[in-house]
Amino acid sequence: MMMGWMAGLLLFSQQVIVPERLTLTDDKGQITANVDKKAYSLEYLDIPLVDNERLHQLTDEVGKRIYRKPMNATINDSGAIVKEIPGVQLNQSAFVKQFYQHFYDSNSLSFEVPQMPVYPKVDSELLASIRVRPIGYYVTYFNSNNKHRYTNIKLAAQAINNYVVQPNETFSFNRVVGVRTRTKGYMSAKIIVRGEFSEGIGGGICQISSTLFNAADRAGLKILERFSHSRSVPYVPSGRDATVNWGGPDFSFKNTYNQPILIRAHAMPGRVYVSISSSEMINYKPRHVPSASDTLPEEINAGTDVDQSVP
């Protein structure tokens, strides 16, 4: 409010005629907002003053419209690094300053909204440095003829693939994967409820959380939260599963090492592969974790090619 009073009083003697409209554009010249200056004015002694409350609302609205989320660098299915893409956000202090300048400029009809970059957390250089030393992995098998369950497994694997956990950061499966809904592509498949099999949206993703648990445990990471199913499952040894449910049980671990770690997850016909890697400088302490049986569980089609190479 003080800024509006000062700007108006300083310009009072100049008999400023404020144009009725002001057009805001982005860096590509696209219109972000059309501002009716009267709606942002407070009239005192015939002096046009900026309504700071309305300007604050405008700043929030413009910020939401121009925001572009940054994209982390990733590793594609061919093993090549896909470069990161910076995002964009509103430079709020510069926007407010320019708004005042153009508000009182009788010759100004528009101005470009000031932006500033938002850098991704994971860039190509970091990704290249933490993919070099494998510290943990795990493989489990499943029946890919169950198309609904296979779809859910693939979606959950994609959600955790290329995820980087920084030193002292906690990884939460539910937070990273998010809500499992039909709109995200998840389908109804068999789940375990109170010891009985039932149908539910996202059935099968516990195989991803269980595979990740064993890979993380093998890498010596600190397991914070892990729950077993109410009955045994065929894809991991007894007691080596990690059930998850949105709003319920979660699987989480903490990266207690002094280097970031990279999670890679792949779901192929008949099997799931999760690996964890880091930089050459990591000093990790692996644990012994029993492997999943190399004989196919009863539910798996004997025709599945379990010797298929893993990317």
Q: Find out whether 237 and 295 touch, Cβ atoms under 8 Å.
A: no
Q: What is the pLDDT of residues 115-158, one digit of tens each?
A: 999 999 999 999 999 999 999 999 999 888 888 888 999 999 99
pLDDT in the model for residue 273: 96
Residues in the chain: 311
For the chain, the structural domain boundaries read: 2-123, 130-278
When pLDDT is averaged across residues 19-35 and rounded to a whole number, the result is: 79
Q: Could you tell me the CA-to-CA distances from 68 to 38, 88, 94, 124 in Å, in that order? A: 30, 5, 18, 19
Tell me the β-bridge partners of 103: none
Whether this prediction's pTM lies above 0.85 is answered by: no
State the CATH architecture for 2-123. Roll (3.10)
CA distance 216 to 284: 12
pLDDT reading at 102 higher than 80: yes
Dihedral of CA 76/176/270/181: which sign?
negative
Residues 6+ apart with CB under 8 A from 261: 130, 135, 164, 165, 219, 221, 255, 276, 277, 278, 282
As a whole number, the mean pLDDT across the chain is: 84
Over residues 281-306, the pLDDT tens digits come to 999 999 999 998 766 555 444 333 33
